[in-house]
Structure 1
Amino acid sequence: MSVRLFLCLFFCSGGSTVSNGQLTQIAQGSDVSLNCLSSSGQARWEVPPLSTPMRVNLGQTEYLLIKDFQQQSEGQYVCNNKTTKLELKCASTNDETVLFRASQGDSLFLFCKGLSSSSLMATWSWRPHHSDHSTHLGQNSALFGNRLSLSLSNKDNDFSLTISPTAWNDSGRYECQLKPKTRTVFELVVVRGTLTGLLLKLKFCLSEHLNLLNFLSVSSTVHTDRQQLTEGDNVTLQCEVSHELQSVRLYWINTETQQNFSNPLQLRNVMMGQRNWACAAFHSSKLKALIPLTLNISQTLSATARSPTPTPQYLPTDESKRTNSPEDLRTTPSSQEVRQQDFILLCVCTGFFFILTVLIGAACWRKRIKERMESSTRVREVTYAEVKFKQRSETPDVTSPECGLPLNSNNAPAEEKDVIYASVKSM
């Protein structure tokens, strides 16, 4: 065995835990989390020239996340006389690593390599978090389509696996068995951010004042990057993970102000300055993921003078509780603004139910008019009766003008007339 191979095996025998002032071996494609505490609140990591880590300042701590560790990330990282030297690992060791990736746009590289003068054999298996059964992975596995790249016969004994891009269902436990005795495990947790609620003003009004949330459902869940918003809208940011791990905390960070909020986060009267957000996942007080999300906010246009920009508000939901770490900063609205908003909401609710009452009254009035028209055109039932009888009339006596004697005697015949009696009765 050569001296170079012996030295590489010596360094690779150590763990991948970051320690102060010591050389630490990091597997290619893994993530490194560093944090530096400063009593003055001005902690600042000094990084190698080619390294481009993600930075987050929360309170008096600056968190550093080196995602997908590569050769350009090697070097010394210094903060307040705290020095950490990072280098690429030469070969796989018997360790376990937890990796966080975004559900869209991220890629995954799982390092599996052996150091030997002879050819080695390796097998890959994957057990999804929602299943108890493992699946053996081969070249271009059908479960991943063309997103998976893997070579099980390599002259360099490099059997690393690549998945690009990652998806929500890729979550699970990946294991590389490098024969005869090296076993490396990677646990993948997928993170995604969603935006819930398109008409939260009405929802808030119904739920707070009238308790009729089940009467009207106006919420929806969409990917944040695809949602178009307007200034003054109310939205809720929700950060989700594919698998719940112990000691995992999720926060929303405004990357412009460096403020952090508990998850989920409700934004009322969203503003143009609230475009850029990041879902931060902390595992055992270490920053493990920082998934950026951008809100597409458009300005409200008016032909007249533009109204003043509404004040942003951050409202925690019932599940949002203040935690000890990291420090939670909030923007609290004034009591006058709260009263004004309550008055506006009450007006909206009153107008809504006024319109509803008018519509119901119009429907009842129309129904009544229709019934009257139907009754006027209804066919009437008529009963007609006809009675015919004869009437006998006697001729009156005519007295002679000369002597006062009647001209006709009582023996003269009487006249008979036909009389018709009719009666009409309508129903």
Structure 2
Amino acid sequence: MSVRLFLCLFFCSGGPTVSNGQIQIAQGSDVSLNCISNLIQARWEVPPLSTPIRVNLGQTEYLLIKDFQQQSEGQYVCNNKTTKFELKSASTNDETVLFRASQGDSLFLFCKGLSSSSLMATWSWRPHHSDHSTHLGQNSAHFGNRLSLSLSNKDNDFSLTISPTAWSDSGRYECQLSSSYLPKTRTVFELVVVRGTLTGLLLKLKFCLSEHLNLLNFLSVSSTVHTDRQQLTEGDNVTLQCEVSHELQSVRLYWINTETQQNFPNPLQLRNVMMGQRNWACAAFHSSKLKALIPLTLNISQTLSATARSPTPTPQYLPTDESKRANSSEDLRTTPSSQEVRQQDFILLCVCTGFFFILTVLIGAACWRKRIKGDASPECEPICNLLRAEDEDEYTVVIFQEV
């Protein structure tokens, strides 16, 4: 192994140690490897149970072994160069820089001593935005139930777990192991949190102005969404922003299209976003080594249809010409027009009017017969009186003509 490769491995994994030709890595730490090939695309051969993150940019394959565990042990081979990794059995005076996502990630900070007697451990945390340290275990209100820590362990294992990690967890974590006859062991972890955001979304509001007129109004707003599946539509403009909780020297941020493996500078402006631009990843490089790859999926739908009838229509995909014709013919068969509705109402009104007219005539005829016989019932009395008044008027007119 060359001296250059050894130095890269040392700084990328946060102070590993070498034993019997194998590089020892603390549990929960990260290992970053590069492989460059001038002839064909470089490819790392990894142990069967290892599942590292791979990124291919040009002729270089970046390998990130995140949260190193027992299944990550073994040989890693590229271009006939072999590197062996194994788990570290105890903490040493190391300083490690770890990158984690602001959502969905977990953090394991290894702190363990090898001693036949019991050791004492103290954990402290100093946020990047503060000058004061907090003793974890005594005051862990910030983390709530996300933090798991035991300060009394017969195996002298005082490792700390935070799950899930949050943006505000960024800072410097320190573990000190001590005993009455052994020197103190001090292990430091610096946590940098990474997140991807969407800004400058172009939102659509759809209104129905009348029964036959639909209008799409476009309202441009500015918003920030942290790695959420924000709803977008084809043709929208969006800016992808990659952020880190703490600025470190030699940290570079890029956006990678995980489908095409193309990389773009940060921030990235996407104009007229398309369906093929869904899957992205925010890549954080530290000293030319891949330290984090935070996925960001854009929820893109096709253009909304402008032919909806409802005042608050549900989103629809833009139909083709054939589907438009099919939908139009189906609407004609199933939905009556306003003219047809008016015709039906007119017919119903005529039927009701005719029915009441016939009913009135029948009741009048019955009352007239009752009056002639002199036994009109009380129910018919109003109608009979009306008929009697009409008869009297007619009789008066006849007499007046005779005179």
Shorter-normalised TM range: 0.5 to 0.7
Distance 1:366 1:95, change over 3 A: farther
Answer yes or no: is the 8 Å Cα contact 2:198–2:226 preserved in 1. Answer: yes
Deviating beyond 6 angstroms after TM superposition, the runs of 4 or more aligned structure 1 residues are 1-14, 17-21, 200-217, 303-370, 399-403, 410-427
**Residues 128-183 of structure 1: CA deviation (Å, up to 9, x unaligned):** 000001110006821211110000000000000000000000000000001x4110
CA distance in 2, matches of 1:150, 1:400: 99
- How far has the Cα of 1:185 moved from its partner? 0.1
CA distance in 2, matches of 1:35, 1:314: 44
**Greater alpha carbon shift after TM alignment, 136-145 vs 356-365:** 356-365
Kindly name which structure, 1 or 2, has the bigger radius of gyration based on alpha carbons.
1
Answer yes or no: is the 8 Å Cα contact 2:257–2:281 preserved in 1. Answer: yes
**Residues 261-289 of structure 1: CA deviation (Å, up to 9, x unaligned):** 00000001111111111000000111000
TM-score, length-scaled by structure 1: 0.63
* Structure with more helix by fraction: 2
**Greater alpha carbon shift after TM alignment, 413-422 vs 146-155:** 413-422
CA distance in 2, matches of 1:367, 1:400: 8
Answer yes or no: is the 8 Å Cα contact 2:234–2:302 preserved in 1. Answer: yes
**Greater alpha carbon shift after TM alignment, 74-83 vs 219-228:** 219-228
Distance 1:10 1:47, change over 3 A: closer
**Greater alpha carbon shift after TM alignment, 359-368 vs 40-49:** 359-368
Aligned residue for 2:14? 14
**Greater alpha carbon shift after TM alignment, 411-420 vs 111-120:** 411-420
Distance 1:289 1:220, change over 3 A: same
Distance 1:130 1:304, change over 3 A: closer
**Residues 285-332 of structure 1: CA deviation (Å, up to 9, x unaligned):** 110001111110112255999999999999999999999999999999
Distance 1:217 1:137, change over 3 A: same
Look up the SS of the partner of 2:333 in the other structure: coil
- How far has the Cα of 1:348 moved from its partner? 55
**Residues 333-385 of structure 1: CA deviation (Å, up to 9, x unaligned):** 99999999999999999999999999999999999999xxxxxxxxxxxxxxx
CA distance in 2, matches of 1:270, 1:295: 10
- How far has the Cα of 1:238 moved from its partner? 0.2
Distance 1:153 1:44, change over 3 A: same
Answer yes or no: is the 8 Å Cα contact 1:20–1:84 preserved in 2. Answer: no
Distance 1:215 1:28, change over 3 A: same
CA distance in 2, matches of 1:256, 1:401: 92
CA distance in 1, matches of 2:398, 2:125: 100
Aligned residue for 1:426? 402
- How far has the Cα of 1:219 moved from its partner? 1.4
Answer yes or no: is the 8 Å Cα contact 1:48–1:74 preserved in 2. Answer: yes
Look up the SS of the partner of 2:206 in the other structure: helix
**Greater alpha carbon shift after TM alignment, 211-220 vs 54-63:** 211-220
CA distance in 2, matches of 1:118, 1:36: 44
Distance 1:12 1:53, change over 3 A: closer
CA distance in 1, matches of 2:91, 2:315: 49
Distance 1:239 1:7, change over 3 A: closer
**Residues 4-47 of structure 1: CA deviation (Å, up to 9, x unaligned):** 99999999999417999753x00000000001000024100001
Are residues 1:270 and 2:273 paired?
yes
**Identity of counterpart residues, as a percentage?**
93
**Residues 178-235 of structure 1: CA deviation (Å, up to 9, x unaligned):** 1x41100000000011000123999999999999999997211112423100111110
- Please list, as runs of the form range in 1=range in 2, the aligned pairs for 1:376-391 lying within 5 A after superposition: none
Look up the SS of the partner of 2:325 in the other structure: coil
- How far has the Cα of 1:71 moved from its partner? 0.4
Answer yes or no: is the 8 Å Cα contact 2:229–2:297 preserved in 1. Answer: no
**Greater alpha carbon shift after TM alignment, 52-61 vs 2-11:** 2-11
Look up the SS of the partner of 1:193 in the other structure: strand
**Greater alpha carbon shift after TM alignment, 183-192 vs 202-211:** 202-211
Look up the SS of the partner of 1:191 in the other structure: strand
Distance 1:166 1:209, change over 3 A: farther
CA distance in 1, matches of 2:271, 2:359: 26
